[in-house]
Amino acid sequence: MTEPKKLSTTQLAKKRGMTANQLFADISAMGLTIKAADKWILTEAGKQLGLARKQKKQAIYQKYNFNLIKLADEEVLNLDDILPRLLLKFGVQAY
């Protein structure tokens, strides 16, 4: 199972035929974000929604006894160097 490509709010708004400001207003109206000091941040409800989605995906891995390799954001930037080392932990040799 591959992780879907992440979109910026501006990209998502464009796909939905609206401005980023309109999308932020909609998300804010749902109680998922607030604007503080000219920056949008997740509310507790927004964090919980994201956490619920993550837990649902993790449950699929557990159900089928799949190994899950967790990566930090900075590791994704160096995936070619990081992933082969992590795969070795599971007996997978990559070249």
What's 38's DSSP letter?
T
Domains of the chain, by residue range, sit at 7-64, 66-95
CA distance 40 to 32: 10
Its pTM stands at 0.48
Q: Quick one: residue 7, left, alpha or beta (phi over 0 = left, psi -120 to 50 = alpha)?
A: beta
The pLDDT tens digits for 12-25 are 889 999 998 899 89
The pLDDT tens digits for 64-93 are 998 888 888 788 888 889 999 889 988 888
Residue for token pair 């993790």: 58
